[in-house]
Structure formats: C-alpha cells, structure tokens
Chain A
Amino acid sequence: MSQAEAFPKAAEGKLADTRLRATLRGATHTIRDRRTAVVAEVGDWEDLRELGRTVKEEALADLGSLLARFEERATAAGATVHWARDAAEACRIVADLITVTEVVKVKSMATQEIGLNEALAARGVHAVETDLAELIVQLADDKPSHLLVPAIHYNRSQIRDLFDASIAAGVDDDPAALAEAARLHLRERFLTASVGVSGANFAIAETGSLVVVESEGNGRMCLTLPDTLISVVGIEKIVPRFADLGVFLRLLPRSSTGERMNPYTSIWTGVTPGDGPQAVHIVLVDNGRTRVLRDPVGRQALHCIRCSACLNVCPVYERVGGHAYGHTYSGPIGAILAPQLTGGHRSLPFASTLCGACYEVCPVKINIPEVLVHLREPPPAEQPVMGAVSAVLSRPRWYRAGLRLARWFAAMAPARRLPWPLSRWTAVRDLPRPEQETFRDWWTRTHGRT
C-alpha cells in the first residue's frame, strides 16, 4: 500500500494518461449534472442533509449500545452475529464459514477494504464479483477506481476486448450487448450458488435489519438465492431506527447515481422461513473505525454513506482518478478516511485544493475541508518552522521587520527559485515577490501618521 510520497508519484503517471482523463471527465460531469437536477426537485434538501448529519452523529454517540441492540435483534431473528477487530480477523471468520469453492458476491466497499477476495483465494475459494463493473475490473485483474462506478476508467471498446477474450467471444461493443453477455455469464452461477457474500449500506439497530441499495438485481440474486448469506458490515453503518431510512433513502440515490430512487433496495432481518437464505451471518468489522472515532474533528468521516458525490465534483479526482489514492476509498472522502483508518497514507490530506465543492454536495454534510486541514497538522520536523512563523505573524513589529528583510533579500537575489531544501517547494511554483511598499507604509507616506 502507498505511503508518504505515494499520491504525488501516482498522480504524475495518471495525469499523463489523456484517455483516462477524458473518460473520467465525461463520466464525473454526467453524474454531477444528473445529481443537480434531482436534488433541485427536493424542496427541503438542506433540512434533509442536516437531518442526515444529526442522525449519523447520534448513531456514533450511541455506537456501543446500538451495536449491542442490533446484535440482539438480528440474533433473535435467526442471524448469527460475529465481531472482527481487524481485516485479518474478518477474513478468517468469513473463510471459516465457507465450505464450497465458489461464492457469489455483490459489490461492497467493506469486503474490498479488508481484501476478502484475496484472502478467500488463498483458501481455495473463488469469489465471483457480480456487479457489471466489478466483473469488468475482476476480468481485467485490475482494481476499482470509483466508489460507485468501479470501472469508470474503462470505455466500451476496452470492455468489448476484455469480454471477447474471456466470457463472450465475438461480442460487439454495444453496451446493451455487453450487459446481455454479463447476464448470461452470471445467470447459471446465481441459480446454483450456495453461498452469497454482501456488504450493507445500513444496519438498523431497532430491528436488526440490513439494507442493500443497488441497480442491476445482482444484489437481490446474491441476497435471495443462496442457502447461506454472509454480510460484512463496518460498525459505522449503524442507524438507530427503521424510520431513519426515510432520511437516507431520500439522500443516497439522488446524491450517488442522480436518480430519484435506485432500481432495487433490499431490506432483510435475520432468517425468513421459506424465503431466501436459511443461514444468515453478519460480520461487524472495526478495522480502524474506532481509531477514527477517537478524533473529535476526524470522526465525522464515519458519517459517510458512500454516495460518491464528493468524487464527482472533485477537481483533483477528475484529473487523476481513483487509483492514485492507493486505497479502497478514493477522492475527497478517501483523502480523509484512508489516513485515519490506517495511520498511513499521510500524503492524501494534501491531495486537495480545499475548494469546498465536496462539502457542498455531501448528503450528510461532512466538512471534508475541515478534516483535511486538521489532518495536515505538520509532522514533527516542520513544527519548529511553523512555530517560528506563527510567532512572527502574531507580533506586528516582528512581522514588519520580517517584511523589510524579505524585500532586502528579494532585491539582493532576484531569482524566483530557492536553494535546497526549499527548492522542492519552488520547483512547482514561483516564489512570490514581496510588494515594494506595504499598505501601511503607503498609508503613512500619503496620509501622514495615524
């Protein structure tokens, strides 16, 4: 996984890929416009966002008791609830539950985050991704690059070539034909699968229910047809009450795909005799979430409902794509979540211009710029410098003296580059020239002393 300098390096390569940039630009702008149109339809959108934010805040404030209630209700309804401290434990729990060699899987950020497919492969179990985009990415042996449209970086002729070489020889590049090819390829697997693996968009404490929001129907297939269903759920997915879904199901589809409602939403509570899987397992995963919870400013990142609206409006994401972030969560949310979840990825909070577009579209009002700045707190080496700067800036007399010094310096050395180590800074920008005369000096000169 990426570390300190990873983002700048990765971004450099991606920026040079003009086809990627064109594909991304087209895609993000299309979803963005759709979102704007359906959001404008909702008269109380701002109130709804605020409600979304406060419900999530309440959920985090009561997280322990809500998880315990969820466990109790889900267990009473016939589900088995497991707890996992980290990715390895979660993968082990899931793998131990599987006795077959193939499982069907519906797109889930949590399972990607914990590296479940790789862990299952190591135990001889093939996890078949069933979302069209995930299937594309899996067939290409690639990684998803967008929370919602994982194959956003592929155009149709690339997908055609991929399908032609793997699941559907001779297929043409009409999107409908490609979708049909995926349908045929997966149908047999759905009808014969004995284990399904999913994530969940929400977990309802009051009822012990899980919610999956999707479009294609592959989610319903995975949730309904197998005998055993295993759902991997981050502990922050908890919402207190069933009625709270009224808030999130209004916010999510409009923010993510720009639809009034996504084609299918499934809600299930434990086992229903005679209908759907008769063995239902839920794995509640921490994997760094409680570390995020400890930070009073940073914990709002756990409110995220993974709509991806912030990715679609982000000028940085639009230019570099999801892979440059080097983590499951990319874009603005990735830039604040990945460093907090892992303690690494320290360059990500700098992968932003702080333009604030992400905050404006976020359906649960996560103040992403605030968290970015908070996470940019300088590393120990820079702290004395920052301390000196703040000492100067908070003392007018020192500040004026500093300015005079800077002017003298600029006159002595007119180059707009600094010597090493400061040259790293001026390699990408010109050194600003101090004004020849400050406003105060000008005022004193033209208006006399104040």
Chain B
Amino acid sequence: MGARGPGTAREEILARIAAAAVPPARAPRPQAAIREGSTVMLAERIAEYRATVVECTDADLADVLAELLAETVHLVVPSGLPPEWLDRCSMDAVADSPKHPLTAAELDRPGTSVLTGCAVAIARTGTVVLDGGPGQGRRLLTLVPDHHICLVRPGQTVDDVPDALAALPDPARPLTFVSGPSATSDIELRRIEGVHGPRRLNVVIMGDR
C-alpha cells in the first residue's frame, strides 16, 4: 500500500523516470481575467444538446418551475436551496441533507425530479458545472433521478472552460460538468439521448431583472 523505501515499486518507477533524464521544459501559462459569458449563447448551445432551456426572471421563476414540474411525482432538493423557488409548486419537496440522506433506491423511483442550482455555467460549450456547494447537493442527487432541473443565476455564466475553472471556489470539491442529457453514440454513431444519467435535463436561465 503505497510502500516507500528501496526496492518498492514506487522507488523503482521514480528511479526509472530519473534515469530517462528528460530535459527541462516549461509551458507558457497566459494569465487572463475571468471573462463573462453570454447567456444567449449559453441558451443556444445547451438547446443544441437537446436539453430544454427556459429563460425567466425573478418574478416568473416560481411559475416556470411549477410548469416544468407538472408531471413530477417526487421532487427532491438539496439542502441550501432557496425555499421561495418552490412557492408555486403543488407537491412537497423532499430535502436531502447530511442528517437525512436519501438512498439511491429512493432517488430511482419513477417520476422523481431533482431541482438544483449550479456553481458556474459555460456559454461556449453549453455546460453547467456542479460542485456540491449550497443548493447543489451530493453527486448522486443529480445522477439517479430521471429528470434534472438546473438553475443558472444572473452573473454565473462565464465565457469558456478556463474561466469556469478559475471561477470555482474550491477545485478539490467533487465536480460534475454537465453538457446536455446523458447520451450515447455507440450504435452506428447515432446520438441517442438518455442512457444512464437523467434523460430529461431542463436548464432555467435567470435574466438580470
């Protein structure tokens, strides 16, 4: 188990690497400020992955969510989700929390939807990034249910991948980059949406006012 000292695999591999005597090399790493992204581009590019995109404002958010959840039987939310988001929803939301964690089997029940926020969104690639922060929850919450609604708030959209990496508060948190619903192109390269991850992905992009 990660043994050290002479004769261990670790020391031998490190010695082989040293013996290869690879000449030094440095990559230039241009430092750039985080660029803001266009929410119009974000909406367009997410839609190209065949996810549903809805743009809304603070005022109609609750209505939009109620509509997206119309067919939902079980609604799951992570802890830390702003409660007012659910003002217009008819069903009760079950919160997942460290004290009361939901099991994979519970999340797998037919008709389950999960509603989360995100850490940052990438316009150029049509991606939402989840980092397990408040309102996003554990990784399995956005994996097992068949329907995921993800909210992108004003100011969360950046231009490209490097901007998103720089914007994340802590890279050591578990990160999931989501670009459209789960898909496969393994059969004759035809893209089929929905294999193991949520088959329905709705992204709600909130405007500035």
Contacts and interface: CB of A to CB of B under 8 A. Distances in A.
Contacts of B144: 191, 225
B187 A215 contact: no
Given A217-B182, A260-B45, A264-B177, A51 B20 contact: no
Contact of A246 (B16, B28, B161): B161
A75 interface: yes
Contacts of A355: none
Contacts of B178: 263-264
A89 B9 contact: yes
Interface string B55-72: 000000000000000000
B17 interface: yes
Contacts of A71: 2
Given A132-B184, A290-B13, A263 B25 contact: no
A266 B175 contact: yes
Contacts of A270: 172
B49 A263 contact: yes
Interface stretch (B81-89, B149-157, B188-196): B188-196
Interface string B1-36: 110000011101110111110111111110000000
A347 interface: no
Size band of the A side of the interface? 35 or more
B195 A245 contact: no
Nearest to B124: A260
B104 interface: yes
Interface in A155-193: 155-156, 159, 175-176, 178-179, 182-183, 186-187, 190-191
Contacts of A223: 139
A293 B178 CA distance: 35
Interface stretch (A272-280, A336-344, A370-378): A272-280
A98 interface: no
Interface string B147-180: 0000000000000111001100001111111111
A102 interface: no
Given A58-B27, A84-B9, A293-B22, A263 B183 contact: yes
A64 B173 contact: no
Contacts, number: 241
The size bracket of the interface on B is 35 or more
Contacts of A272: 132, 173-174
B27 A263 contact: no
Interface string A196-237: 000000001001110000011110110111000000000100
Q: Chain A: interface secondary structure?
A: helix
A60 interface: yes
Most buried by A among B13, B143, B187, B190: B187
Given A64-B18, A179-B194, A216 B172 contact: no
A191 B108 contact: yes
A241 B187 CA distance: 36
B126 interface: yes
B19 A218 contact: no
Given A245-B165, A266-B176, A159 B2 contact: no
Nearest to B201: A263
A165 B107 CA distance: 31
B161 A243 contact: no
A275 B139 contact: yes
A216 B183 contact: yes
Contact of A191 (B104, B160, B185, B192): B104
B49 to A, nearest CB: 7
Nearest to B105: A191
A249 B179 CA distance: 12
B182 A276 contact: no
Interface of A: 26-27, 30-31, 51, 54-55, 57-58, 60-64, 67-68, 71, 75, 77, 80-85, 89, 130-133, 136, 149, 151, 155-156, 159, 175-176, 178-179, 182-183, 186-187, 190-191, 204, 207-209, 215-218, 220-221, 223-225, 235, 240-247, 249-250, 253, 257, 259-270, 272, 274-276, 284, 286, 290, 293-294, 299
30 contacts: A54-B25, A67-B14, A68-B14, A82-B1, A89-B9, A131-B186, A149-B185, A175-B190, A175-B192, A179-B192, A183-B194, A186-B196, A191-B104, A207-B172, A215-B185, A216-B195, A218-B195, A220-B196, A224-B143, A225-B144, A242-B165, A247-B162, A261-B127, A265-B175, A268-B175, A272-B174, A274-B101, A286-B16, A293-B16, A294-B19
